[in-house]
Structure 1
Amino acid sequence: MKKKILSLLLASSMMISLGMLPTGCSSDNSASNNVEALWDGGNTRNKIVAISDIHLGIEDKYSETLKNRPILIEFLQRLQKTKDVRELVIDGDFLDEWFLPVYYPSYTDQRQFYKDAIANNQGVIDELNNVIDSGIKLVYVPGNHDMTLEADVLQEAIPKLVQARDAQGLGTYYTGDRNEIAIEHGHRYDVFSAPDTVTNAELCGNANTILPAGYFYARYAATWVLEGRPKVEKDIPVVTKVPDQSDVDQYGAYIYYSLLKDISTRMTPNENLDEKIFDMHISGFDDAYSYLDFYPTQQADGTISAPVLFRNIQRTWQERQILNKVKVTNSFTEAVAGTVNWDYYAAQAKAQYLDNPNENVDVVVFGHTHVPMYCDTGNGKYYLNDGTWIDHNTDYPDATRTFAVITTGDETTAAIYSYSEDGSITDITSSVSKTDEKNTANSLENVAFDYKAVENYGDDAKQARYVEVSGLKDNTVQEKLNKELKDFCLSPTLSSESDTTYDIMPVFEVVGGDLLSIRVYNTAYTAGAAYPVNSIQTQLFSLTTGDKNAGNIWDFIKDKNAFKQLVLDGKLGMTAAGVEGEIPKDLKSEAYKKLSESIDTSEFAKQFYFGDGGNLNVWCEGKNHATGDYWLFDIPVTELENIASDRLLPIIEAIKKLSN
C-alpha cells in the first residue's frame, strides 16, 4: 500500500491537514432531484456505506473541508437515490474542536461551540436529514476531534440520527445481517488521541479532563499552519540520557519524548515556548498553559516527564484503556510506537475483533488515520480504513473523498472507493490493499534459494556466484526477480578488465516478510597486482513484485541526524575488509568520522543491508588495502526503535518475538 507520511503529527492521533486552508464563506448546494444514483443498485438494501474524518469547523477558516463540502453534499444527494444502500455511518471526526489556533478566543460553553459549528455547516446537516428521509439509516460514531460533542446537541440537529456510544468520547457500531461488521473511529487505541480522564485528574482536581495530549499538539500545529508555517528557532529541552530498554517505565517515557521532539523541531509557530498560550476553561481544565508545561524532558530526579500537564503519561495508559473499554490491552511502548505506523491500527482491528474469540466479527472499519486501507486477513475477514474527506490529505495525497462500502449477506464483501470532483466513482481497493503479514508469509512458505555459479569461469578458488529463487506462486515475478538477482550479483564481471577475475559470494537475509536483503562480497584478482582488492555491493529486492531498489536506508530510519550521532558516538560495531586482529582506536575514529560524512551523500542511501542476528549493517569505502578496502558497521535493529520508521518497526517487533 502506498503511504504518504509527512510528519509525526500527521501520522499520529493529531490528524490535521497541513495544507493552507481557503477562507471565506461557502455556498452549500441545495438538494436537487436531478442527481443520479452513485451506482445501479438492486432492490435489496444490503450495503453499508462508511465515511469519516470530515472535520467541519466552527468557521470556514478553521474547517479542513471547505472545497470538498459542496462535493460532500452532492455525494449525499446521490446516496439518497442509490436503492441498495441500507445505512450511512459517519465514523468519527464529523465536527472539529481541535483544528483551532491557540489565539482562538477562549470559551467555556462547548455545547454552544458545537451548535455554532453545526450552524456553519447547515447545508451538510440538512442533507443528512434528507438521507434519513430517503429511507437510509444514519449512524454517528464519535471521533477524537469531536469526542466532547454531547449526544443531545447532535440529536437536536439530526433528530432521527442513531448514535453508537460506549465509553465517554468513544463508540463502536455493530451492523450487518449477522452483526458481523464493527465500525469505530480507532482513536481508542492511540495514546495521543484516546480520551484521558486520568493523567491530569490530580492536577485539575476532577475526572472531567477528557482531552488527551493530542488536542494540545493539534492546536499547536494548527497555529503553525495558519501562521504560514514559519521557521522559528526554538530552544527545546533535550533528554541526554537514554534509558535502558529494561526500564520499561522510563524507556516508554523516552519513546514518547522522541516522537514529540520530532514534532517540536518541525512545527514552530511564532509563539514562545514558555508563553501561556493555551487558555483552557473547558473539559475540566481551568488554567493557562505553555507548550513547555506538557513537553516531556529530564526532571531534577533524572526521570523523563512533562513538568505540569500529562505528567508520567506512560503510567496511566493501562487505566485509560480499562476506562475506555479496550477489549485487549497493550503496553504503552507498543501503543506510542504505533502512533507512526498505520499498520498498528490494522493490528488493533485484528486483536480487538477479528482474532478475538469473544467477538463474531468479519469486517472492521476504522477512520482516524486519513489513510484508506483494505487488508484481507484471511478466512473471509477484512480490515478497512475509510480515509477522509478533507481538502488536503497530506497523509495520502492520491486519495481524498474516500469511503467504504460493505455488502452484507450470507457472505460479506467490502471495498474502498473515491469520489472525484466530476462525480465519478473509482474503486481503489487494489491500490490501497495490504496483505496481512501472516498471509504473506504463507504465500512465501515454499520459496527456496539456491546458489548458482557461472560455468567455465575462474577456478576452484574463484567463482562468480549468484542467487536463484524458486517456489514463488507468480512465475512472472519469479522470472523477473531471478534476472535482476543474476544481473546484480554478476555486475562486477561485466565491467572488469580481461586480466581480472572475481570471486563473488552473495549472502542474503529475508526480512519484513517479503524483502530480500542481499550483499555481495567481491574479491578482484588482477594479474601482476600485489594483492587482491575487496569490494561490497548491497541491494534490497521485493519477493512479491520482483523489483530491486525496494527501499533505501531512509525508508527505515526516520531521523538522519540521530543516526549520524549514533555513528559519531561509536555505537555501531566495526570491521575492516581484509584486516585481521583488533582495529586500532585511531583507525576506528577515522572510520566513524568518514562514515558520518558519507551519510549525507546520495550514494549512502543504498549502502546498507540487514545481516545476521537482526543487525542493520552500513558500509563506506576504506582508506586503503592495509586498513581495509571497505569498512563495515553494524547495530542491532532493536536499538534503533526510537528512530525507526513505520517500515522498520514491524521488523523490530518480529525480531523481538523471535528472541523471546
Structure 2
Amino acid sequence: MRKRILSFLLASCMVLSLALLATGCSNKAGPLALWDAGKKRDKIVVISDLHIGIDDNYAETVQNRPLLIEFLQRLQRTTDVRELVIDGDFLDEWFLPVYYPSYTDEKQFYKAVIANNQGVIDELNNVIKSGIKLVYVIGNHDMTLEADVLKEAIPKIVQARDAEGLGTYYTGDRNEIAIEHGHRYDVFSAPDTVTNAKLCGNEDTIFPAGYFYARYAATWVLEGRPKVEKNLPVVTNVPDKTNVDQYGAYIYYSILKNVSERMTPNENLDEKIFDMHIAGFDYAYTYLDFYPVQQADGTISAPVLFQNIQRTWDERQKINQVKVPNSFLEAVAGTLDWEYFFRQAKVQYLENPNENVDVVVFGHTHVPSYRDMGNGKYYINEGTWIDHNTDYPEATRTFAVITTGEKTIPALYMYNEDGSVTDIAASVSGEKGEAAPAANPLDNVSFDTKALENYGDTDTQARYVEVSGLADGGVQAKLNKGLKAFCLAPTSSAEKDTTYDIMPIFEVVGGDLLSIRTYNTAYTAGAAYPVNSIQTQLFSLTTGGQDAGNLWDFIKDKGAFKQLILDGKFGFAAAGVDGALPEELKAAAYKKLAESIDTPEFGMRFYFGDGGNLNLWCDGDNHATGDYWLFDIPVMDLASVATDRLLPIIDAMKNLGN
C-alpha cells in the first residue's frame, strides 16, 4: 500500500515534498517551511495532546514547548496546508497534583493556562493570519474549557463541539475525514454527568473517574514516584462472568487495583486530598471514596464517588451521542487496550453504513498509530507532544498530515529536535487494518490475585498470584502451582495459633522474568504485636519454573556492589517503623546488609520493585527498629557491575521511571 501511495504522490508532482519529509530537512536558522509545498492548499495537519499547563512545575509539555512554537512558525510558511486541527487535550486541567490549591473559577484557571503559554497562543493566532484555518476539537483534559474563553485568546479559531465535553470535526473535500479526541468511548475519560448526580444534587458533575485518577497519578509523578505500601481494600469473591453487572464492576475494580498498586504517592488513602469546588462538586474526597470495595451485601462498588459505575454507562453513551453504543464490559476492558480505539473508529465511522468517512483521526492514547484497511479507509492516531511519552517512548511531537482530493492520503510524522521530520507510519502500522503484531509473545498474559478459601477473616487473607493467557498450558499449570506454593508457604509452616495476612506484589522484567515478593504479617494469639516478614522469588514465564536463578547471579562485580551498600548508595526503609530513622540505625543496617553478602540466603533476597529499582532486604534487629529492612537502588545505577544478563533489563527498565 505504501508503494501505491508513493506512486500517487509522484504523479501529483510532489516528489520533493515527500523526500524532505521522509529523510528529514534540518534547518534551524529560521522558520522555513516544513516541506516544499505544492500549489494547492490540500493538506490537513492534525496535532493533539499538547497538555500545556498552568504552571511549568506541573505541566507535561515544557521542554517541547519551544519546539512546538518552532513547528507552528514553520507551518505558517508551508503554503499547501489548508487547516491545522488541535485534536483535544490542549489546555490541561487534569495533570495537577492533589496539593494544588483548590479553586472555584474554571474560566480563570484556563485563562491562567493561556497566560503561562502565551508564546504558543501567539503562534496559533499567527497560523490563522497566514491563511491556515485553525480548528479545536475538545478533549478530556480540557472538557470544561468554555468556548468563549478560548475565543477570547484566539478569536478566529473554529471549535468543534457536540455533546458537552465532546466534539467531532468533519473535513476534507468530501467531508471524508472525521477527527475527534476519542475519549467519548473511554469509561474513565468520557464525560459523566450521571453517576454522581444524586450524590452531588446536580447534573453538572461532568468529571469522570479518570479525572481523580489523573490527579492522583500526577501527584505520584511529581513526588518522584515514591514506593509507599498501601493497604488497599481487596475484593476476594470474583463474580461469575454470567453476572454481567458484577463482573463488569470487578473488571473496573481490577484495573484500578493494578494502577493503584503501582502508583503510590505519599498521601494517605483516607486523607481528603480531592478538595473539589468545581464542575458540580463541592466537597473534599479521599482516594478510598472512589476505590471499589466489596459491600456488605456482597456487591462490588465504590463507597461514595462513582457508585455502581457499570450501571450508568448506557445512559452516559446516550448523553454523549455515541453512534453505536457498546457494553460497559467491552468498554472498561478496552480502557488500557490501545487497539480498542481502532475498533471503535471502525464501528463508529469506517464500517458504519450511516457514515461516509474514509479517514478517522483520534488522539487521547498518546500512542501513534497508522492503520491502512486496504479499501481506501484509514485510522490514524496522531500521538502527543508531551516531553516524556511513557505510553510510547519511541515517539513524541508526532502529527498527522492528510492530503484531501479525489483520493485521500494520510501520513504520520514526528518532528525531531533538530527540526527534521521523520515518517513513522510504517513503524506503527498493521497489515490491512489489523493490529500490529505483538512485540512480545507474552503480551496476552494476565495476572490475578486470589485468596485462599476458608482461611483467616476480613483482616487476614492468604493471597496468591495466578497467571492466565500463556500459550503453553503445561507451562501455565506448572507456573501457577509454583506461585501458589511460594505465596502460601508461611501458612504451611505456621503454628496452630498463628494466622498470616499475605500480600503478593510482582513485576515482569526482561521479557519473561516474574519477580515476585510477598509481604507477610503474622498474628499470633497472645502476642504483643504482629510480626512482619518478606519473601522473594524469581520465576520464568517461559519454563514456568524457578530455573531463572536469582538476581544475585545478575551482578558481575560483587565487590563493587558491596561498596555501593557501604557507601549508602541504596535507599533504606524499616518495615513497620514510622517517622525519621536515626542515622546510626541506617549505618548499622548498611553494615549488616554488607556482611550478609557471603551468606547462602543472600541471593534469594532480591526483587525488582516499582519505578525501575532493584530491591533487597535483610532481617531487622527487633520489632522496634523494623522486623526487616528494605534497600533499593535504581537499576540504571548498576550498569557498571551488571552481567550481560542484567544489561538488557537495565535498558528496558529505564522506561519504567519515565
Q: Which TM class, normalised by the smaller chain length?
A: 0.5 to 0.7
2:33 counterpart residue number: 37
- Which residue is equivalent to 2:618? none
Which of 466, 481, 501 is 1:592 aligned to?
481
- 1:227 Cα shift? 1.0
Specify the alignment match of 1:228 in structure 2.
Answer: 224
- 2:275 and 2:191 map into 1 onto residues whose CA distance is 20
Name the SS for the 1:350 alignment partner.
Answer: helix
Equivalent of 1:317 in 313, 318, 324: 313
Paired residues, what number? Answer: 462
Find out whether 1:556 has 2:444 as its counterpart.
yes
**Counterpart of 2:236 in 1: which secondary structure?**
coil
Structure 2 residue 104 is the aligned partner of structure 1 residue 108: yes
Superposed, 1:37-76 pairs within 5 Å as 37-76=33-72
Find out whether 1:203 has 2:195 as its counterpart: no
Counterpart Cα distance in 1 of 2:406 and 2:469 = 57
Post-superposition shift, 1:559? 3.1
Contact 1:52 1:387 (8 Å CA) reproduced: yes
Give the TM-score normalised by structure 2.
0.66
Native 8 Å contact 2:360 2:378 kept in 1: yes
1:334 match: secondary structure: helix
The equivalent residue for 1:344 is: 340
| Residue 463 (structure 1) aligns with | none
CA–CA distance in 1 between the matches of 2:444 and 2:433?
Answer: 18
Are 1:166 and 2:178 matched, yes or no?
no
Asked if residue 290 in structure 1 is aligned to residue 226 in structure 2, the reply is no
Give the 3-state SS of the residue equivalent to 2:66 in structure 1. helix
Give the alignment partner of residue 122 of structure 2, picking from 108, 122, 126: 126
Query: Once the 2 structures are TM-superposed, how far is the Cα of residue 592 of structure 1 from its aligned partner?
Result: 2.6
Aligned pairs (5 A) from 1:82-161: 82-161=78-157
CA distance in 2, matches of 1:575, 1:336: 27
The residue that corresponds to 2:542 in the other structure is: 606
- One-letter identity of the residue aligned with 2:275: D
Question: Residues 288-327 of structure 1, C-alpha deviation per residue, up to 9 Å, x if partnerless?
Answer: 1000000001011110000000000000001000100000
Structure 2: how far apart are the matches of 1:570 and 1:355? Answer: 33
**Post-superposition CA distance 1:611-655 (Å, at most 9, x none):** xxxxxxx7899xxxxxxxxxxxxxxxxxxxxxxxxxxxxxxxxxx
By how many angstroms is 1:258 displaced?
0.2
1:270 equivalenced with 2:266 (yes/no): yes
Distance, in Å, in 2 between the alignment partners of 1:184 and 1:590 is: 44
Identity percentage of aligned residues: 71
Cα distance in structure 2, aligned partners of 1:262 and 1:286 = 29
- Residue 369 of structure 2 is aligned to residue 378 of structure 1: no
**Whole-Å separation in 2 of the counterparts to 1:157 and 1:144:** 20
Residues 365 and 386, structure 1, Cα contact 8 Å, conserved in 2: yes
Equivalent-residue separation in structure 2 for 1:194 and 1:594 (angstroms): 38
1:517-538: CA deviation from partner (whole Å, max 9, x where unpaired): xxxxxxxxxxxxxxxxxxxxxx
Q: Following the alignment from structure 1 to structure 2, what is the Cα–Cα distance between the partners of residues 75 and 563?
A: 54
1:253-307 deviations in Å (ceiling 9; x for gaps): 0000000001111111111111111110000000010000000010111100000
Preserved contact between residue 90 and residue 139 of structure 2 (Cα < 8 Å): yes
Contact 1:567–1:596 (8 Å) recurs in 2:
no
How many Å apart are 1:33 and its aligned residue?
10
- CA–CA distance in 1 between the matches of 2:109 and 2:431? 42
Sort the Cα spacing of 1:226 and 1:619 in 2 relative to 1 into closer, same or farther, 3 A. closer
Deviations 1:467-495 (A, max 9, x none): xxxxxxxxxxxxxxxxxxxxxxxxxxxxx
8 Å CA contact 1:595–1:619 kept in 2: the answer is: no
Q: CA deviation at 1:606?
A: 2.1
Shift of 1:603: 7.3
Distance 2:403 2:479 in 1: 63
SS of 1:77's partner is: helix
Change (3 A) 1:282 1:594: closer
The one-letter code matched in structure 2 to 1:329 is: P
What do the CA deviations read for 1:132-191 (whole angstroms, capped 9, x no partner)?
000000000000000000000000000000000000000000000000000000000000
- Aligned-partner Cα distance in 1 for 2:296–2:391: 38
Distance in 1 of aligned mates of 2:326 and 2:228: 37
User: Do the aligned partners of residues 241 and 117 (structure 1) sit closer, same or farther apart at CA in structure 2, a change above 3 Å counting?
Assistant: same
Shift of 1:552: 4.3
Query: Using the alignment, how far apart are the partners of 1:247 and 1:576 within structure 2?
Result: 30
Contact 1:568 1:596 in 2 (8 A): no
Task: Give secondary structure in 1 for the equivalent of 2:109.
Answer: helix
Let me know the Cα RMSD of the aligned residues.
3.0
CA shift for structure 1 position 605:
2.2
Asked whether the 8 Å contact 2:209–2:306 carries over to 1, the reply is yes
Paired with 1:381 and 1:570, the residues of 2 have a C-alpha distance of: 35
Aligned to 1:433: 429
Structure 2 counterpart SS, 1:384:
strand
Corresponding position: 1:216 with 2:212: yes
SS at match of 2:427: coil
Report the Cα distance in structure 1 between the residues aligned to 2:474 and 2:389, rounded to whole angstroms.
47
Q: Do structure 1's residue 394 and structure 2's residue 330 form an aligned pair?
A: no
Could you say if the C-alpha distance between residues 297 and 135 of structure 1 is closer, same or farther in structure 2, counting changes exceeding 3 Å? same
Aligned residues of 1:165 and 1:171 also touching (Cα < 8 A)? yes
1:560 Cα deviation from its structure 2 partner: 7.4
CA shift at 1:551, angstroms? 3.6
